[in-house]
Amino acid sequence: MKRFLGALLFMSAVHFANGQNQVVKIIPEPVSVQQANGNFLWDKTVVTRVEGNNADLSQTIAFFLKQINTVCGTKNTVQKSAAPGKKEFIIVLNPAEDNTIGAEGYVLKVEPNKIKLSANKPSGIFYGLQTLMQLFPPGASGAAFVKNSFQVPCVAITDYPRFGWRGLMLDVSRHFFSKEDVERYIDEMAKYKYNVFHWHLSDDQGWRIEIKSLPNLTKTGAWGVPRTGRWNSFALPQPGEKATQGGFYTQEDIREIVRYAQERFITIVPEIDVPAHSLALIASYPGLSCTQQQYAVNSGWSFYKKDDNVLCVGNDSVFLMLDKIFTELAQLFPGKYIHVGGDEAYKGFWEKCPKCQRRMQEEHLKNVEELQSYFVKRMEKMLLSKGKKLIGWDEILEGGLAPEATVMSWRGIKGGIQAAKQGHHVVMSPWDNCYLDLYQGDPAAEPPTYGLCRLSASYNYEPVPDSVDAKYILGGQGNLWSESVYDIRHAEYMTWPRALALAEVFWSPKSKKNWEGFIGRLEAQFPRMDAAHIKYARSVYDPVITAQKAENADSLQVQLATEIKGLDIYYTFDESNPDNFYPKYSGTPLVFPAGASDLKLITCRGGTPVGKQITVSKADLRKRLKK
């Protein structure tokens, strides 16, 4: 792998030394790219100039120049007037709106002596700068001096997004991420033109936001007993064991992160997950559940057959407390949406709860599904009174959808189709294409999790079903649940490169989708991520392993494939480690020889290993076959 990364870096350096060989490789793919001959030399003589006096651009341009000056060792600043005879980088907010590019689009033209970036709005300038950064060599993405000048290929780009909602979700409840971690994640999102950060702030495993009127939420709900290892296999809290694992964000932390995101044209959508997934809330205030039992915050242990983590919908105190929570939440987050979860509510406690049954009688509700609908509709009225719109997971459709609710469809696309046909807005986020916590390669070579979502599944996803009016599809979102994600490095590994694929799904024209073209542009991003010290997965290079029944019932055969073209697979059954001098897979299924217990595999390109060595046992393959 080191040899391959070194080769990539060398090729990148050669390309930027020789302008005639440069190829523009941008993610997400722009609407129009017209490459021309020649280069613009970015060095200390470049003059950066803003046409017009627009203070809204000052911070955005300062971000860009700080990065470039760091890696170039230059001191470029913004000049107020033209500099005849000098190379210029000109930034323009269009005095008359260009209807083609809309609010987030831009036009970027690189010529030998001039770069011009124009847009209708500051957000368009910001996104244009992200594209310009990808025209610089990989080292420009780092945080240290590289060299005094860079070649920028001459090109004309016109670009604008397909969807207005281009989101990533980070779950900070199952495992807590520091303020600095969250800001780093937002930085990485911004590079690829994401504009929504969905922040999952509460769940059974932790309450992560300070609510001043309810201090016990963070005194108790933010902390669990420390556990390390495989999720859902931990011991229950022991007598006298202190809850020291977790954390929360103060309201000042929240304000700082909101400002940080706004500076990068990212809107934060906070989520407080109710009525289920509420054990941290219930642990803090036990009277809010139907059973009113006292629980500890769940640190990843599994005990209850049906989780007692659901709020009592018949208890008026629940709504009084939620009103306090969402009042403070609405004051902290300026975006128009608040996410209320609404997913996976076990309704068995409601069926037995006298308060819930009385509520159903008073409201003339036929069943507990309609009781959930009653809860969501009441939440919507609460949020509307605070100037916010409700969004929830597709379970909020059950029992009848709240009048103005937006649906985030995660259990496939069915919920999204149903909501759109009812005239509701939808954010598409089906788990088998958009869940970033799933396996992205063969489980034998990946950290433990559940389910499978390969890079190709994310890239080939289409957010607009044929049967719905596209105007109801706001866009899409990738979701990173953190049950098995302990820290920001692992979060990055699970996010990238699948979030690169989704960035293109949500931004680029549908007509420009091309898997092979994407792979070429993807590989150009890896050296940039290396320079920025971003951890990413290379699982797309690993073989796809499929167990099959053999004619001999005692044997087993294996079909192999690769997600991308041009890779060879080498294998052994004799416990030695294969390289490109071992047998090469020809396409014919492999049969385990008598006595062999393991199959070892590695992929190569041009004789050089590019994937991880994978060892998969015959016993494991038999288990897969049974499933």
How far apart CA 134 and CA 29 sit, in angstroms, is: 11
Q: 544-564: buried (b, 16+ CB within 10 Å) or exposed (e) per residue? A: ebebeeeeeeeebbbebebbb
Q: 141-172: buried (b, 16+ CB within 10 Å) or exposed (e) per residue? A: bbeeebeeebbbbbbebbbbbbbebbbbbbbb
In sequence order, the β-bridge partners of residue 151 are 41
495, 493, 516: which is closest to 436 by C-alpha? 495
**Residues in contact with 509: Cβ distance below 8 Å, sequence separation at least 6, in sequence order:** 31, 162
Give, for 408, the enclosing helix (H) or strand (E).
strand 406-409
Cα 489 → chain centroid: 14
- The first and second tokens of residue 517, run together, are 């073209």
How far apart CA 295 and CA 286 sit, in angstroms, is: 8
In sequence order, the β-bridge partners of residue 428 are 409, 476
Active-site residue (options: 51, 344, 370, 404): 344
In sequence order, the β-bridge partners of residue 339 are 271, 391
How far apart CA 497 and CA 501 sit, in angstroms, is: 7
**Residues in contact with 586: Cβ distance below 8 Å, sequence separation at least 6, in sequence order:** none
- The first and second tokens of residue 275, run together, are 């009525």
> How many Cβ atoms from other residues are within 10 Å of residue 521's Cβ?
19
**Residues in contact with 474: Cβ distance below 8 Å, sequence separation at least 6, in sequence order:** 163, 164, 165, 406, 425, 426, 427
How far apart CA 53 and CA 423 sit, in angstroms, is: 42
- The first and second tokens of residue 545, run together, are 């392993």
How far apart CA 558 and CA 596 sit, in angstroms, is: 13
By the 10 Å C-beta count (0-12 exposed, 13-18 middle, 19+ buried), 613 is classed as middle
In the three-class reduction of DSSP (H, G, I as helix; E, B as strand; rest coil), residue 340 is classed as strand
Instruction: Tell me which DSSP letter residue 428 carries.
Output: E
Q: Is the link from the previous residue into 275 a cis peptide, with omega within 30 of 0?
A: yes
465, 411, 406: which is closest to 434 by C-alpha? 411
344 assigned to active site: yes
Decide: 97 and 120 in contact? Cβ < 8 Å. yes
Q: 331-346: buried (b, 16+ CB within 10 Å) or exposed (e) per residue? A: ebbebebbbbbbbebe
Alpha-carbon dihedral 255, 261, 265, 268, rounded to 10 degrees: -70
Decide: 347 and 275 in contact? Cβ < 8 Å. no
**Residues in contact with 592: Cβ distance below 8 Å, sequence separation at least 6, in sequence order:** 555, 556, 557, 558, 573, 599, 618
Q: Which residues belong to the active site?
A: 344
